[in-house]
Amino acid sequence: MARYSSQRLKLLVLKEMFEKRTDERNGVELKQIIEYLAKNGITAERKSIYSDIALLRDFGMDIITEKGAKTTYKLVSREFQLPELKLLVDSVSSSKFITRKKSLDLISKLEKLTSIYEARELRRQVYVEKRVKTMNESIYYNVDSIHTAIAKNKKLNFKYFEYDRERKKVFRRKGEIYSASPLALIYSDENYYLAAFCDRRRMIVNYRVDRMSEVSLSNEDRISNDDTSNFDPAIHQKLQFSMFAGDVQNVKIEFDNSLSTLVIGRFGSDVFIYPEGDERFIISVTIEVSPAFFGWVFMLGDKAKILEPKSLSNEFLNLISDVAKTYTEI
């Protein structure tokens, strides 16, 4: 059944055909082009199609003619190449903060940016169903509201919740409205966080965007003070072992040489490394000390040791002792 009845749409239909029916490995013959146009209610002669292809090339489309036993025409480059789309599809399917439903919707849209043949390749690499995903469908509207609030210099109002063991929402502070001055959106540990100056706590706090509900812009302007003026998202994220705040401390840690790659990956290539004998090295870094930091050090076993401050080393030792007691009581 014809979709179009006007000859004036011929160029647009041809453009669509090259985008959807051709790529670097798949071309179309002239007779196939004529048939495609006819299916869409458009008649065309060979000579006019040659002229139309030339116009599309002038427009910037990289359509080549491939001569052989049969002459074919194909669009060989486009805005996104297949490896780039595969990277985007993999990012969408693996992102925890995007729901299953929205992941499939976004992947479907990405498929439309390439030919039907390459879209099949994209579909084969999609693994969404068994991945851990957020259950909050409103996250996309939350992100939009956050960007708008930052652009308009307004505070945000929202409710904040957790899930109980029945997977039901339980609002913090008995559903009280939170008020905060948004500073930046930060992607960390496969989740989206809002870094904002909290009215109540008078400090910069991180909120999981997928745990925010009923997000709206306030009529009040964002708070401006030393904390917000000096805020740097990159430094803020680098200081933290998780997006949950802790005390900022300068920490000296000793590592086995085998962990050098892991340490550089964690703290960045600019971290200063002090050799300690032939088999160990020491670093001094400023971090926010939190349970996540202790968990990371614990994971490294006897290949990592907190040296300074001594109070932190003792705190870690007490934590290990408490964990050991828990298991001896079983």
Task: Convert the chain into a string of H (helix), E (strand) and C (coil).
Answer: CCCCCCHHHHHHHHHHHHHHHCCCCCCECHHHHHHHHHHCCCCCCHHHHHHHHHHHHHCCCCEEEECCCCCEEEECCCCCCHHHHHHHHHHHHHCCCCCHHHHHHHHHHHHCCCCHHHHHHHHHCCCCCCCCCCCCCCHHHHHHHHHHHHHHCEEEEEEEEEECCCCCEEEHHHHCCEEEEEEEEEEECCEEEEEEEECCCCEEEEEEHHHEEEEEEEEEECCCCHHHHCCCHHHHHHHECCCCCCEEEEEEEEEEHHHHHHHHHHHCCCCCEEEECCCEEEEEEEEEECHHHHHHHHHCHHHEEEEECHHHHHHHHHHHHHHHHHHHCC
Q: What is the pLDDT of residues 84-118, one digit of tens each?
A: 999 898 888 877 778 888 888 999 999 999 999 99
Question: What separation in angstroms does the CA of 70 have from each of 30, 31, 51?
Answer: 9, 11, 20
Mean pLDDT within 233-260: 79
Lowest mean pLDDT among 5-9, 126-130, 170-174: 126-130
Residue 184: half-sphere exposure toward Cβ, Cα within 13 Å: 15
| CA 63 from centroid of its chain's CA atoms | 33
Q: Is the pLDDT of residue 127 over 80?
A: no
Mean pLDDT within 229-242: 78
Spatial separation of the C-alpha atoms in residues 259 and 312, rounded to whole Å:
21
pLDDT at 97: 77
Tokens linked to 12: 């647009």
| CA 55 from centroid of its chain's CA atoms | 38
pLDDT band at 180 (very low <50, low <70, confident <90, very high): very high
Mean pLDDT within 63-79: 94
pLDDT at 20: 95
* Average predicted confidence (pLDDT) for the chain: 88
Per the DSSP assignment, residues forming a β-bridge with 169 are 163
Highest-scoring range by mean pLDDT, 97-111, 118-132, 140-154, 246-260: 140-154
Q: Is the pLDDT of residue 192 over 90?
A: no
pLDDT band at 237 (very low <50, low <70, confident <90, very high): confident
Spatial separation of the C-alpha atoms in residues 30 and 72, rounded to whole Å:
7
pLDDT at 242: 58
pLDDT at 137: 76
Percent of the chain having pLDDT more than 70?
91
- Structural contact between residues 138 and 209, judged by C-beta atoms closer than 8 angstroms: no
pLDDT at 4: 54
Spatial separation of the C-alpha atoms in residues 266 and 263, rounded to whole Å:
5
pLDDT at 126: 63
Side chain identity at residue 238, one-letter code: K
Side chain identity at residue 225, one-letter code: N
Give the chain's radius of gyration (CA, Å).
Answer: 28
Q: Is the pLDDT of residue 1 over 60?
A: no
Nearest to 196 by CA among 214, 210, 188, 208: 208
Mean pLDDT within 213-226: 96
Spatial separation of the C-alpha atoms in residues 57 and 311, rounded to whole Å:
70
Mean pLDDT within 155-173: 87
Tokens linked to 173: 């502070």
pLDDT band at 236 (very low <50, low <70, confident <90, very high): confident
